[in-house]
Every structure is written in C-alpha cells, then in structure tokens.
Amino acid sequence: MATTEVTNFPRESTLVRIADALERNHTQQVLAQLDGTVTTYRKCMRDWFLYRGAARATPRELTELCNEWYAATRTITTWCGGVEFYQPTVSAVSTGERFGDNVGMTCVPSTDTVANTDDYAGEPLFVPTDVNWTLDATGKRLITAIDGITSNFRRRDTSVYVGVMQMAPWYFEYADNNVYARGIAAQQSVDYDVHPLVEAVQPDGTLSEFVLHPKYAAHKLTSGALTSCAGVVPSAWMSHNAVRSAANVNGARYSGECACDASWLILMANIKYASLTLDGILQGCCQNNYQYPAALAETGVKRVLLTAAQGAVFEPGMGVLIGNYTTNVDRSYLYSITGTGGAIVTAVEPVTVGGVDYTAVYVDVPEAFDTAANGAATAGTTYISSFHWATGTTDGVRGNDGSPKSCTSGKYPAKLQGVEYMVGAYEVIGDAIFSEDTQAYSAYTCSDATKQASSVTADYVDAGLRLPKAATAGWAYIKKQGFSCGVTMPTVTGGSSSTYTRDAFYSDAAATTGLREVLLFGSLFLGAAPAGLSCGSGLYGLGNAHWYIVSRLSPNGNRGEYDALAA
C-alpha cells in the first residue's frame, strides 16, 4: 500500500507562535481580573504561574517566570507616590504628608487575631510573596519555590532559604529648604528622577523585575552555615566578621545581612505609615528583658518552675537561655544548660507541687536536666532568661504588617511587608562598615560578596553619608537619615524620644577613631525610646560579638552597576 506524505502539519515556528499567542491571551485574561484585592491577586498569580508550567520549572525557569509576572503586572499599574517630611530645621514632627497615589492610603498593623486595614495589600507594586531562593555561581538569585503556587515550598526546613519577593519599584527623592520627600513608582516614565534600588540590579548590571529580601533572622547550624527559615532561635554572638565567615560556609557568593535589607524596611515604613518612626505603631521586641531563678529544684526535667507572676512573662515561641549561676547574671554567663544557642519555650502551665502553686516553663531541649533553687545570685542556682524570639513568630499575623498579640507593647517581634524583624536583638550588617574619624562617621559598602573584608579596601565605596560626632559618647536622637548606595544612616542628630525618628544612634566620643560594625534596631533590653527601625550603634569594632547581636543570610550581596543609557 502506498504511503501519503503529510504536508500540512504546522511547522515548529508556527507552533511556537501559536503557543506565544495563547500565553499572551491568557496573561491578558488574568490581568483583566485583577481588582485591587489581595485575594484576587493571589488567585490570579497562582493561575498564571501554573498555566505557564511553574510546577515543573527548573529554578532558572521559575525565576524567569517571576520576572515575566512582574513585568506583566507592571503594565497594569501606574502607582506613583510617596511622603514629604519637614526638614529638621522647620519642624520636629514625625509624620509626613502623602502625595501622588499615596494620598488617602491607610495601613494599620494586624495581630494574630485581628486583620486591620492595609490599603496596599492588593496593589501590585506592594504585594509581598514568600519564596525559597538560592544563588548561582555568579551570585544571581534563583527562585526555587513559591508559597501557595509550587508544591516544594518549605518554610521550616533549615536546608532551604526563605525570602520575601515583591515587584521592584523605581525610587526617587527630592528636597527644598522646607521639605524632603521619598517616593516609589511602578513605571520608569514618571515626572521624577527615578533610579532602581541597588538590590534590583543583578550582578551583570541588568535589572530584575522583583526585589528579594531575607524573611527571617539567621540560625547557625552545626556545619557553620546560616539558615533563613522559621522555627529556630536566631543565633547570637554575631559580629561583622563572624557573619561574613558564616555566610561563606553557605557559599562564596552568600552574604550576611546587607544594608539594603534594612533600608527596604525603613522605606516601606516611611511610605506606608507616612512616618519617620513606628514607635507606638509597630514597636518590635525591645522591652522583653526578664531573668528569674528557679523557684523549686527538680531532677530530670525539661522545664523550670517559677512563681506564677514570673512565669506569666514567658510564652510559647519565646527563646530562652537556661544556665546555672556562677559569678554574673549577664546572659553571657547563664547558658550552661541550653548552650549559647538557647531553646524555645513550648508551653507555660500552672502546676502544684507539695501544695504550692508554681508556673512551669517547658522548653525544647534534647535532653532532660536538673535545676537548683539556692536563691537569687547564689552559686549553682538555675536561671531562665528571656532571649530572642524564634523565627516565624509573626507568621500567624493576619496581614503583611504586625505583631502576634500586641503591636505596641515592645514584647513581640514585628513583621513589615512580610519581613520579620526586631526579634529582641541588634542585627549586624555584613556588607557595610562605619569608618569614624574625630569629626564624623562615614559608611562604606561592598557590592561583591566575595570581596567583603575586615577593612575598608578598594572594593568598598563611600556611600557619601556623614554623621557629625558629639564631643562625648552616648545616645544621640536622630533628626534625619540619608539614603545612598543601599545604605541608610543618620545624618543629623539632636532630636528626642518624642520627635523626628524617635530613635537614637550610639556614637563614640569625638576623640575615638577606627572601623565600626553597623548595628541596627536595638535589643530586648533597650526600651522603646532609643530602639526602632532607625536605631543604630557605631560603638563596636568589626569583631565584636555578643548575645544581643544576630544577623541574616542575604540574597543581596552581589549587585551590579545599572547603566540607564544602556538599558
């Protein structure tokens, strides 16, 4: 029987054109459904990614889909706005005036039980999405999983890294003698001199359609590597030098927390709350300083018995240190039972022993231990101390911003645009260094993780920001901050705990010079007055480590130079 040659089967190029047309049509249908609500946005995002094969995509393919998604949603938003603040010579108020599309927008932080207003939640420029990420050999970020979309997303797995992905905004600022402004736009073609944020510029100089920031503080594994996941106590005893070394265990291109990670939080706070401060709005953990001796000795337990009043300050999810007293109640000495890494409180329950009522604080330690109750500050007495909250404590918050039970008590960590921060410790920056002379502090930063160093080498650039120093050391309340090269730092001080940023910077005396690590936010004992998003310290050398210093593993340690003319 003769065979008949089939000649009308579509050529491969025709099939590709058909597939492209179908994808464009599907994208248009998805975009047409977006109505400004976060529920619809999440649904449309999931539908689009799954239609485009996200479930089977490699990390590089998934990353490209992320770029395509944000490029597509950028076409349907023209959001452009910001906040004007008074120059510090004009007014001391902390609040600003919204302009552009920011006018009329409202945001109130939420809790685990109450979802408050967030007008930004469904705006494509502001919607945050949790992802897993990694870096390739060049330092380029790769998205490996997307929460709610791909089945392989992991939040509490120490072998993967959790970040928060969001459309990359164009940034602009302007100033005159009366006001200065900060703003962002979805489009480059606006009536402002815009530029990309440094974390949007990839190592090869091309722009990413999204920015990515570490969601959680880091825990140091037994291998020496850092995590970015929920369910662990953030590791203390970090320093500028220590976090760089630890990040290198993850890989040569990995970095400790970057200055731009913190600057992102400040920018989002300024715009969403039209405020220089979040004091009294979203406080973070800065007033959670408790240490108590065991009220009753026990053997072979995983708990500490306290009086009812003492036990009431502890909650599940709180990190604690447990150790026996030797010579000092500083947490640097009281960790013999839990180790310096601490433990997580699993339960707090009333118990009665010998007819006496106590409160039992249970912890997740691998082995049972004995406690001693010899009296306060007595040799051998077991102490339990509040420590850094476990990562993921804010995961139950019913919104992008908020704290678990109270946003203003100073007891709980905070979440802003999906990023958890202020877990009860300063955060040390790995890619920036303060250099102080007898006159002022200056900030230097390095955009190549492989060239971060313990000194200001030729690979560091001067951010162009300076903070004049006072004659004596101490807390200086911040009036104004500058932003350059991804770094945000104080440039004018002389304020107070109730004016301007309401946060403070600890400065060395004028006579002191040297290189200092960049510490941010404040610790669990600092209090609401100096602590906050703008709080910082320039007191310690690059190798200084302490129990109240943690850091992060960042995807932003490798940043290229953006050439607007070549784009």
As a three-state string, the secondary structure of 490-550 is EEEECCCCCCCCCCEEEECCCCCCEEEEEEECCCCCCCCCCCCCCCEECCCCCCCCECCEE
- pLDDT for 162 equals 98
Residue 8 pLDDT class (50, 70, 90 cuts): low
Query: Which residues have CB under 8 Å from 462's CB, separation 6+?
Result: 442, 443, 444
Inter-residue long-range contacts of 472-477, CB under 8 Å, 24+ positions, other chains counted:
472/509, 472/510, 473/506, 473/507, 473/508, 473/509, 473/512, 473/539, 474/506, 474/507, 475/504, 475/505, 475/506, 475/530, 476/504, 476/505, 476/506, 476/507, 477/501, 477/502, 477/503, 477/504, 477/530
553 in a domain, yes or no?
no
Mean pLDDT of 531-538: 97
Mean pLDDT of 92-114: 98
- pLDDT for 483 equals 98
38 in a domain, yes or no?
no
What does the radius of gyration of the chain's CA atoms come to, in whole angstroms?
25
pTM: 0.95
313 in a domain, yes or no?
yes
543 in a domain, yes or no?
no
The string of pLDDT tens digits covering residues 177-235 is 999 999 999 999 999 999 999 999 999 999 999 999 999 999 999 999 999 999 999 99
- pLDDT for 2 equals 46
Q: Is the pLDDT of residue 16 over 80?
A: no
Count other Cβ atoms within 10 Å, centred on residue 176. Answer: 9
181 in a domain, yes or no?
no
Q: How far apart are CA 297 and CA 303, in angstroms?
A: 10
Q: What are the distances in angstroms from CA 313 to CA 162, 301, 426, 433?
A: 30, 21, 21, 37
Count other Cβ atoms within 10 Å, centred on residue 424. Answer: 31
| Amino acid at position 57, single letter | A
Q: How many CA atoms lie within 13 A of 275 on its CB side?
A: 20
Structural domain boundaries enclosing 363: 291-386
Q: Is the pLDDT of residue 1 over 50?
A: no
> How many Å from the N-terminal Cα to the C-terminal Cα in the chain?
61
- pLDDT for 3 equals 46
Average pLDDT, the chain: 95
182 in a domain, yes or no?
no
372 in a domain, yes or no?
yes
Q: Is the pLDDT of residue 5 over 60?
A: no
Q: How many CA atoms lie within 13 A of 293 on its CB side?
A: 18
Q: Is the pLDDT of residue 128 over 50?
A: yes
DSSP state of 454: S
- pLDDT for 22 equals 74
Q: How far apart are CA 543 and CA 238, in angstroms?
A: 9
The string of pLDDT tens digits covering residues 538-560 is 999 999 999 999 999 999 999 99
The string of pLDDT tens digits covering residues 230-270 is 999 999 999 999 999 999 999 999 999 999 999 999 999 99
Strand, coil or helix: what is 557? coil
Q: Is the pLDDT of residue 131 over 50?
A: yes
Residue 23 pLDDT class (50, 70, 90 cuts): confident
φ/ψ region of 113 (left if φ > 0, alpha if ψ in -120 to 50, else beta) reads alpha
446 in a domain, yes or no?
no
Q: How far apart are CA 345 and CA 390, in angstroms?
A: 9
Strand, coil or helix: what is 10? coil
Q: How far apart are CA 75 and CA 161, in angstroms?
A: 30
Q: How far apart are CA 234 and CA 368, in angstroms?
A: 22
Q: How far apart are CA 106 and CA 412, in angstroms?
A: 23
| Amino acid at position 126, single letter | F
Residue 548: burial class (beta carbons within 10 Å; 0-12, 13-18, 19+)? buried
Mean pLDDT of 297-306: 98
- pLDDT for 563 equals 75
Q: How far apart are CA 44 and CA 67, in angstroms?
A: 16
Q: How far apart are CA 316 and CA 384, in angstroms?
A: 14
Q: State how many domains the chain has.
A: 1
Residue 385 pLDDT class (50, 70, 90 cuts): very high
Q: What phi and psi, each to the nearest 5 degrees, are found at residue 422?
A: 50, 65
